[in-house]
Every structure is written in C-alpha cells, then in structure tokens.
Amino acid sequence: MSRHSERRRPVPIGLRLAGIGIGIGLALALTGCTAAQVETGASPTASSAVTQIATASPSPSVATGPVLVPDGTAQDNLPVFSAVVAAVWETPQQVIGQAYVDSLVAAGFDKAAMQLTPDQSTVGNAAESIQFSVRWGGECLVGQVGPATGAPVTAVVPVIDEDTCLVGDTRAIDW
C-alpha cells in the first residue's frame, strides 16, 4: 500500500466531539474512583496519587477507540473504518461522499485507494444511497449510507474486476 503525502483536512466536528466525550467520560470515571477512595478511608497519599492521574493529560501513545493497523488486514481495519463512517453519519453531512472520504483520509486511509459513487442521481436528485470504498490488499472496506439504508452499513468484500471495489459509475476523487 503506497502512501502519498497530501495536505490533511481538519478532522470533522463529529470525530472531535467523540474524542472529547471519551476524554470527559474517562476523567469522570477516574474522579469517581478518587471520591470512593476518600470516602472509604484511603490514605491521603493514595488519594492524591489518583487525583494526579485523573487530572493528567492522556499519553499520546494511548489510543481512544479503534486505530488503523497499517500492516493489518482489511478485517483488522474494519473497526476504525466503521467508527469513522458512524461518526460522519451523525453529522449534517451524512449523505455527502466527500465528508466520508475526507474523514477516512484523516484516519489514515489512502485516498488513492478509494472509490466513491455520486451524491446525486443522473437527474440531479439526492442519491438514495452512496457507497465508498478503500482497497486494502486483495480486499475492500466498503461503506453504504443514505435514506435507503436507514443506518450506515460497512463490510469487507473481495476486490472485483481490475482491482476495484465498487460496481458501476464512480466519481473522481480529485479534491
């Protein structure tokens, strides 16, 4: 899998909010542990150690949620692919293909390995569903969203003709 150096786009607000929510939940959980220890008569030294942990910034090496596994299989990377798709689905851009591509690139997926179907029908109506994919070795991570699906759908499927993942017309990913 080749890597291209490209300008990264900002992470969508949905992904940022998800990370903030996880951080707040962790801080509250650790703060709750501190209160429980103080109430049960823990020594001041133990209590202050827990308080320091609760207020310290998380280590950059500690991941929150699924992470990309560059040397892994498509199945290994399905959790992060699915998490990105779910996060974009929760935004007002839930049926805009570029939002999914940009978010997948921000998560570390290779834009050159992606395909995307049009957001609009041939007569200019919003598409009933859009599909997007990332070719990963001999497999594809595929997502489908839109009013016709009701909820995001993600899967790992084999590569099809000529190393592609999607059947039918796809649009250029030229931004």
For the stretch 96-141, pLDDT in tens is 999 999 999 999 999 999 999 999 988 999 999 999 999 999 999 9
CA–CA distance, 161 with 174 (Å, rounded to integer):
22
Q: Please give the average per-residue pLDDT across 7-20, as a whole number.
A: 41
Tokens in use for 97? 């293909």
| 8 Å CB contact between 74 and 137 | yes
pTM above 0.85, yes or no: no
pLDDT at 16: 40
Residue 142 has pLDDT above 80, yes or no: yes
Residue 35 has pLDDT above 60, yes or no: no
pLDDT at 13: 43
- State the chain's mean pLDDT as an integer: 76
CA–CA distance, 117 with 30 (Å, rounded to integer):
44
pLDDT at 28: 33
Angle at 104 between CA 164 and CA 27, to 5 degrees: 150
Q: Please give the average per-residue pLDDT across 51-79, as a whole number.
A: 73
